[in-house]
Amino acid sequence: MALAKGLHLVVLVSLLAYSSNAQLFPNFYGARCPNLQSIVRSVMSQTVAQDPSMGASILRLFFHDCFVNGCDASVLLDDTATFQGEKNAGPNANSLRGFQVIDAIKSRVEAACGGVVSCADILALAARDGVNLLGGPSWTVLLGRRDSRTASFSAANSNLPSPSSSFNTLVSVFASKGLGIRDLTALSGAHTVGQARCTNFRSHIYNDPNVNPSFSGARRNMCPQSGGDGNLAPLDFQSPNRFDNGYFQNIMNRAGLLHSDQELFNNTPADAFVRVYSRNSAIFAADFVTAILKMGNISPLTGTNGEIRVNCRKTN
């Protein structure tokens, strides 16, 4: 009970801090769309029940949206004659999924309250519910984002960290978004769920020295040195569909799937956070909530900026 109260206090303080930095508020839609959150929860519950990995995929969509010119749903836009969207950028192509889930939520929200709720806010709510439905924490989502009218293929290629990123690169990328090492480490804990393609961890399991031999041997069985690029492995082999602190226990045992994962426990300032999170899931949960609230507040479009899309895949 004390841990629960402590987590609630941290979340409350975080909400007060980040709602003051932009025009985002928990009750932004109020009477205009009173059933919004229950609609999102209903679709996400059905989705995760059918495919638990989709919870991780929606969370990743949110991350890839916010890190490219802010949390504005630009990642959801299809290519047009006037701009190349972000879906086919290097970090996203043949990798991002869950667009149809956001479409399904948007369709139901439009039926309930047309032209009111942004795709950016729907994505933020869906990411929260995906985490919680997989056993992770919940939090109050700040709302009021509007949708962008364009997307950036080039920014998607340059602003997102890669699976081969060094620790210094990770720190630099996160710092450019106003996120510190503690935020970086906590948000990386999202890799307690989801999967990665062989092409993204092949070099790590064959070439890096700081990998547990038994772990790399098991991964090599399904990720050969050539071919099998699309073969999938769980980011957290202990509990791939459970949002817990197993990810940190893995990297302490040199069993991080990606090079960038293992960089967080490789004689760097992040080591201390990894140790704490591996022992205390409540501290990890609290820090994750604090960090994702900060991430969700990256350069939102508010007021009269942007638009409220009717279709999340195209501008009005």
What are the pLDDT digits (tens) for 101-117?
999 999 999 999 999 99
- 192 annotated as ligand-binding: yes
The residue behind tokens 């990995």 is: 53
For the chain, give the percent of residues with pLDDT over 70: 93
- 259 annotated as ligand-binding: no
Q: What is the pTM of this model?
A: 0.92
Query: Looking at residues 192-220, what average pLDDT do you find?
Result: 96
- 68 annotated as ligand-binding: yes
Stated as kind and residue range, the H or E segment containing 185 is helix 181-188
- 147 annotated as ligand-binding: no
Active site residue 259: no
Those residues whose C-beta lies under 8 Å from the C-beta of residue 116, and which sit 6 or more positions away, are 29, 32, 33, 109, 308
pLDDT at position 13: 47
**How far is the C-alpha of 106 from the C-alpha of 118, rounded, in Å?**
9
- 150 annotated as ligand-binding: no
Give the chain's mean pLDDT.
Answer: 93
**If you count them, how many residues does the chain have?**
316
Q: pLDDT of 272-291, one tens digit each?
A: 999 999 999 999 999 999 99
- Residue 83: band (very low, low, confident or very high) from pLDDT cuts 50, 70, 90: confident
Residue (of 30, 35, 29, 25) closest to 109 by Cα position: 35
Judge whether residue 47 has pLDDT over 70.
yes
- 130 annotated as ligand-binding: no
- 169 annotated as ligand-binding: no
- 161 annotated as ligand-binding: yes
- Residue 23: band (very low, low, confident or very high) from pLDDT cuts 50, 70, 90: confident
Q: Catalytic residue among 8, 64, 204, 259, which?
A: 64
- Pair 200, 230: CB distance under 8 Å: no
**How far is the C-alpha of 59 from the C-alpha of 124, rounded, in Å?**
8
Stated as kind and residue range, the H or E segment containing 103 is helix 99-112
Q: Tokens standing for 24? A: 């985002």
- Residue 22: band (very low, low, confident or very high) from pLDDT cuts 50, 70, 90: low
Q: Where are the beta strands (DSSP E) in 63-220?
A: 195-197
Those residues whose C-beta lies under 8 Å from the C-beta of residue 276, and which sit 6 or more positions away, are 283, 284
Those residues whose C-beta lies under 8 Å from the C-beta of residue 122, and which sit 6 or more positions away, are 40, 102, 105, 106, 109, 312
